[in-house]
Amino acid sequence: MPDYLVKVPAGSADVAVLLEPLCVVEKVVEQIKRIQERLVWQPKRAVVLGAGPVGLLAGLLLRLEGIEVHLYATTKGGIKSDLAESMGASFIWAREHELDQALADEIGEVDIIVEATGFSPLAFDAMDMVGHNGIVCLTGVSGGTRKIEVPSDHLNLEMVLMNKVVFGSVNANRRHFESGVRHLEAIEARWPGLLARMITERLPMADFARGFERSPTHVKSIVEVA
């Protein structure tokens, strides 16, 4: 039905497939702002866990807000690191840096952490790492039955005394798609060509299975329907 359609300008048509993951982080950023209205709060620094489409788009939205962004991921170098550098973010290789207070001491107190990996132990590390009055948003969907030991007393104490918030977010509604359309244009204006570089493979329908393959050069595969 037309009431459920959001028009995409012709100039954004080639990257409009990114609007769905973008609307997820549109909602994240909106909810972070709403929750933190409880404080006099001026965030300066964010860490995004994961450098897939959701993580990269979260980094872009936060950069548009003027926030210093650090992308934390398991890959080293390659297209994801290049995209981070292009948006003015740093790229932190997980194998060289634990997600802990030592990293926060190195980069500075962290105000926002967006988890976009689905690797649940990182969620608890993020709760510990985020700074005073900080906020952690979980977007990753955990698919296994992993169990870990959690320092529950320590985390409870930090959450209370340091006034931290953790929340989860999934899906979005029409206004997030509409704001996503506006931000596609804003991102393209500020970093021309960056969104197109995120689409690393365009496949015909007959080769759709290749889109599930993963490599260091892969970010987003799409299937083009002729």
Q: Are 176 and 145 in contact (CB under 8 A)?
A: no
Inside any domain, residue 215: no
193 in a domain, yes or no? no
Q: Examine residue 74 and state whether it is found in any structural domain, yes or no.
A: yes
* CA angle at 154 for the pair 106 and 101, rounded to the nearest 5°: 5
Per-residue pLDDT reduced to its tens digit, 132-182: 999 999 998 777 777 888 888 989 999 999 999 999 998 889 999 999 999
- The CATH number covering residue 34 comes to 3.40.50.720
Q: In which domain, by residue range, is 74 found?
A: 2-168
Euclidean distance between CA atoms 150 and 153, whole angstroms: 9
Residues in the chain: 226
Could you tell me which residues come within 8 angstroms of residue 169 by beta carbon, excluding any fewer than 6 positions away? Answer: 24, 27, 28, 31, 137, 138, 139
Residue 188 located in a structural domain: no
pLDDT tens for the chain, 226 residues: list them: 777 899 999 999 999 999 999 999 999 999 999 999 999 999 999 999 999 999 999 999 999 999 999 999 988 888 999 999 999 999 999 999 999 999 999 999 999 999 999 888 899 999 999 999 999 999 987 777 778 888 889 899 999 999 999 999 988 899 999 999 999 999 999 999 999 999 999 888 888 888 887 777 788 888 888 7
Would you say residue 151 lies in a domain? yes
Number of compact structural domains in the chain: 1
Q: What's the distance, CA 218 to chain centroid?
A: 16
Asked if the structure places residue 192 within a domain, the reply is no
The amino acid present at 196, given as its one-letter code, is A
